[in-house]
Chain A
């Protein structure tokens, strides 16, 4: 059922910092590209994580090709503004005032929502331009994504006239159509990330027009020894005085089992509170076995199986 997700045009990967949003965004994009879709991944916070994971050293506002069918771009509000002015404000004198972009940049800093609308506007513009089949967005940390996704509506309220007002109407149509735009929540199965993911889910539902499609729980400890296997472990424990180091090895397994139980419990809370309409996929912990760029390929394969 991953097909259904990959048929969307715009996927916002949302979650708190450190849970693996960039990994999931990169993996999803790679999966789409491997299936022949033309995919654009957009890094909104400009850390370069997604680009690095996909083996690129540089990113810019102009998309770079990272793999067949897969482009990476870095959001840059100033460049987005310049592009916007070039496309929509066909005023010839703009180019004659090199300082104008700078002035606008600072209005976009000060005027509420202008910066956000430039970001979301650029994404929606790419959807409308139809150069890519799928756009995957790796936004900055939790709260910010809500501001960005909610901005079309907010700015619509604030700005009653002018070009921006007209812009928000078609943007809203793209953002609120669950066939075109969806948000995908990412969390880890620890208490705080789960709680914050649930809060974020509520905010996405209440404060943004974007449909929450599902969640990915990353770095899950899974597969603890159970049932008769525990009996065998107990038998092995009896040899601890004879075999030096056995206590350590069994101790590691016991710790693993305790963390697995904790993760299962937290995962159950997440599933229950998100409601059964929201699919939750899980990705295991890889224990630093892979370099980041190798990890993306692994995660892409897991998502292919796990994602509804």
Chain B
């Protein structure tokens, strides 16, 4: 069983994917720190999930689209660590400036209230901006390893489809329709009813603003499409890997399978699966089961005889022994063995990252989190099959 970090080091880019609340941001940062400490690499971690706390933990004032160096003083780091986050608004502004054919078009777009709403507030545009920033950062030669924390979305991989959606948008009849010269529009039998209804519903002034805006916006297409295409290609090259993350409780077994299936369907290479915040495996030995029985059956009498001088404590004995048993039982049930068992034999390196004991409030604590990762062995049966090899 290789260790978690080793799995990532033969890649140039690693995307950390999984549903919300499983700890993607923390693990991304932790992996990057660990890599920069252990190897003489220039490591960049990009968080797409805007997390201020991460900036605080890394000891930088704020994360921005332009990477900042993170000090790893006193950790004996062999490499360097950089961190960035995707700020949607400024990412869009940069893209407009970069891909506008001329300054006037850029100024018009940037001044448009429609652009303001589109870029700053509305759903979907976030993914595009994120993809464009990532495209630039992941293609940057200065970094040997880029670790990307992916954005929260309805489907863990939605955001990876953003480049395709963007290309689709620019090649769609919608844009052609919206940017059609007004005169042609009014005489086109196909679009006339649309414009009549649209005028009625949205108001003709808004419609004019909208078509003007999209006429300009369409000019960004060649640059944006080109960059999103190269990003899409980058996702499937061997140097790009995906780390899937899940949390050990709840209905996550199905979710985990769906995630792996979604990666496979997109031809993306999964390098590891991490079950995050698992409970320490040493809690759950057969001996612990025996100790629970001892606590239930024998301990109360023994303790009562020992604690006679402390009446309060003696009175608390039953409460305490049953709480100890109950807590241990709950943990045993919640441990997420189901998830681990379900993933054990799917043919991907599987790791448990135990629930953090200290607060994850420093680069050191985050690095320790990766040190604590434990590889999960495939079941005996599956190992035998592997040893014999496929027929």
Q: Give Cα distance in the complex from A202 to B293, angstroms.
A: 50
Judge whether B323 and A225 touch: CB under 8 Å.
yes
Q: Which of B52, B203, B290, B294 contacts A159 (CB 8 A)?
A: B203
Tell me if B232 is interfacial: C-beta within 8 Å of chain A.
Answer: no
Interchain residue pairs with CB less than 8 A apart (28): A16-B20, A16-B152, A17-B20, A18-B19, A19-B21, A45-B154, A89-B197, A97-B194, A110-B174, A110-B175, A111-B202, A112-B122, A141-B153, A143-B126, A160-B205, A162-B202, A162-B203, A163-B202, A196-B51, A225-B324, A228-B316, A232-B317, A246-B294, A248-B287, A248-B291, A255-B283, A256-B331, A262-B359
Q: CB of B362 within 8 A of chain A?
A: no
Q: Is the CB of A235 within 8 A of B122?
A: no
Q: Within the assembled complex, what's the spacing in Å between the Cα atoms of A154 and B118?
A: 11
Q: Chain B interface residue count: which class?
A: 35 or more
| In-complex Cβ contact of A245 among B51, B249, B288, B310 (8 A) | B288
CB-CB under 8 A from B357, the residues of chain A are 255, 258
Among B123, B197, B250, B294, which residue has its beta carbon within 8 angstroms of that of A85? B197
A29 to chain B, nearest CB (A): 19
Size of the A side of the interface (Cβ < 8 Å), in residues, is: 83
Docked complex Cα distance between A144 and B123 (Å): 6
Q: Is there contact, CB below 8 Å, between A104 and B303?
A: no
CB of A193 closer than 8 Å to a CB of B = yes
CA distance A248 to B98 in the complex (A): 59
Cα(A110)–Cα(B288), bound, Å: 59
Tell me the nearest residue of chain B to A188, going by C-beta. B21
Q: With a 10 A CB-CB cut-off, give which of A111, A140, A147, A289 has the most chain B CB atoms.
A: A111
Which residues in A have their C-beta under 8 angstroms from that of B313? Answer: 228, 231-232, 235
Q: Which one of B51, B117, B316 contacts A232 once the chains associate, using CB atoms below 8 Å? A: B316
A107 x B21 contact (CB < 8 A): no
- Asked if B73 is an interface residue, CB under 8 A from chain A, the answer is no
A residues within 8 A CB of B247? Answer: 18
Chain A residue at minimum C-beta to C-beta distance from B52: A195
Q: Judge if A273 is at the interface, Cβ distance under 8 Å.
A: no
Residues in B whose Cβ lies below 8 Å from that of A252: 279, 283, 288, 324, 327-328, 331
Given contact pairs A150-B121, A164-B203, A243-B294, A289 touches B333 in the complex (Cβ within 8 A):
yes
Cβ contact within 8 Å between A235 and B306: yes
Closest beta carbon of chain B to A234's beta carbon, Å:
10
When A110-B214, A253-B328, A288-B333 are in contact, do A232 and B307 touch as well, CB less than 8 Å?
Answer: yes
Let me know if B291 and A249 touch, CB within 8 A: yes
Question: Once the chains are docked, how many angstroms separate the CA of A16 from the CA of B25?
Answer: 13
Scoring B117, B194, B204 by chain A CB atoms within 10 A of each residue's CB, the highest score goes to B117
- Find out whether the CB atom of B206 lies under 8 angstroms from the CB atom of A235: no
Q: Does B196 contact A (CB under 8 A)?
A: yes
Enumerate chain B residues within 8 angstroms of A97, measured Cβ to Cβ: 193-194
Top-10 shortest CB links A-B? A17-B20, A18-B21, A162-B203, A245-B287, A245-B291, A287-B334, A18-B20, A161-B203, A112-B117, A248-B288
Asked if residues B202 and A225 are in contact (CB atoms below 8 Å), the reply is no
B47: min CB distance to chain A, Å = 11
With A and B bound together, what is the CA distance between A259 and B114 in angstroms? 47
In whole angstroms, what is the CA distance A225 to B328 when docked? 13
Contact of A142 among B53, B152, B312 (CB under 8 A): B152
CA distance in complex: A114, B283 (Å): 53
Per the bound structure, the CA–CA distance linking A124 and B191 in Å amounts to: 31
Instruction: Chain B residues near A17: list those with CB within 8 A.
Output: 19-21, 152
Q: Would B154 and A141 count as touching, CB distance under 8 A?
A: yes
Partner of A103, one of B177, B307, B327: B177
Residues of A within 8 A of B169 (CB): 109-110
Task: State in angstroms the CA–CA spacing of A94 and B330 once bound together.
Answer: 59
New A-B pairs, 20, CB < 8 Å, besides A91-B200, A159-B205: A19-B21, A99-B190, A103-B174, A106-B174, A110-B175, A111-B202, A116-B123, A158-B113, A162-B202, A192-B51, A228-B310, A235-B306, A235-B313, A236-B295, A236-B321, A245-B286, A245-B290, A251-B282, A253-B327, A262-B359
